[in-house]
Amino acid sequence: MNEFELIARLTQSLPTNANTVLGPGDDCAIVDLGLPDRWLLFKTDAIVEGIHFNATAPPDKIGRKALARCLSDFAAMAGTPTHALITLALPTHFKVDFIEAMYGGMNALAARHHVAVVGGETTTNPERLLLSLAVVGTVQKGHCPTRSGAKAGDAIFVTGELGGSRSGKHLDFEPRLAEAAWLADNFSVHALMDISDGLAGDLPHILDASRVGAELLSDAIPVSRAAKLAARAEPSAKPPVLAALTDGEDFELLFTVASHDAVRLVDAWKNPFPELRLSCVGKITAQQGLTIRDKQGTRPLTEHGYVHFA
């Protein structure tokens, strides 16, 4: 049983209550506390030494990443994070300077986004450092794009460039909070999430939740310089487009809008975000399944990449 099968089993019978708007399965949970115009967003995320980072990474960037991952989930709901709690599970041997620098990186990112760190706890995890963040925030009521709203005919967009994040970007990425807020304010965003497991791994979450399919255009995938450099340096590395589809930790936005909004969006985007690329990478289809089209034809795409022609 893999992680996704276990989660599916565990989430079948979770208790709920009347003011739960959205439970498990999206980037944040949504709760209605009775505010006239806002919902509460609620999210946790953990990083573990040796799994999500190595202890040789700069500690300020480790701390920054732990919080940035959570903030990216708020961007994925077009929400505003406001308060965070930090759970710090310390190994038997730790350096106070390292922990302080880690907090420094977290605090700097929090302060820049006006997120208050209101406490947390320390505990012991003898073999390795584990850092878990819990974040709350709000989003405009009824104005929060989830994964389930994609419609056949929608244009699919991604921000930035994809692939090769683990060569550096994963420690330094910018959560796309401003971009997502602008999108939700100015467009009817049908579905929205952040890309953490690769475009080919994450787009199916939107497709499943929305009960639709999608066709991507290989030539339209924005391939990062890091993915291109990696392919050039090492002949056995993934081809750049495949890296852009399947490498994890991009933390870019993936979203859909009605096709009649697509051109207006591309035009309007350049004004607030002249430095950040926006790419239309394909379209939502009524027929379920995910395919990718290139010069050779149209092929099924799995989370691990192409299904090769026989």
* Residues near a second copy (CB under 8 A): 1, 3, 6-7, 9-11, 13-17, 19-20, 22-26, 29, 31, 33-35, 38, 40, 42-48, 50-52, 82-83, 85, 87, 89, 96, 99-100, 103, 107, 110-111, 114-128, 130, 132, 134, 136, 138
Q: Which residue lies nearer to a second copy by CB, 22 or 245?
A: 22
Strands of the chain (E only): list them.
Answer: 20-22, 29-31, 38-48, 80-90, 116-124, 130-140, 155-159, 189-195, 213-217, 252-257, 278-285, 289-294, 297-302, 305-306
Determine contact, residues 40/136, Cβ cutoff 8 Å. yes
Determine contact, residues 196/295, Cβ cutoff 8 Å. no
Q: Which residue lies nearer to a second copy by CB, 116 or 286?
A: 116
Minimum Å distance from CB 162 to a second copy?
22
Q: Which residue lies nearer to a second copy by CB, 73 or 154?
A: 73
Determine contact, residues 146/52, Cβ cutoff 8 Å. no
**DSSP secondary structure letter of residue 223:** B
Q: Which residue lies nearer to a second copy by CB, 88 or 281?
A: 88
Minimum Å distance from CB 19 to a second copy?
7
Which two tokens mark 159? 């921000």
Q: What residues contact 140, with CB distance under 8 A and at least 6 apart?
A: 37, 38, 39, 78, 184
Minimum Å distance from CB 105 to a second copy?
12
Q: Which residue lies nearer to a second copy by CB, 9 or 232?
A: 9
Minimum Å distance from CB 203 to a second copy?
20
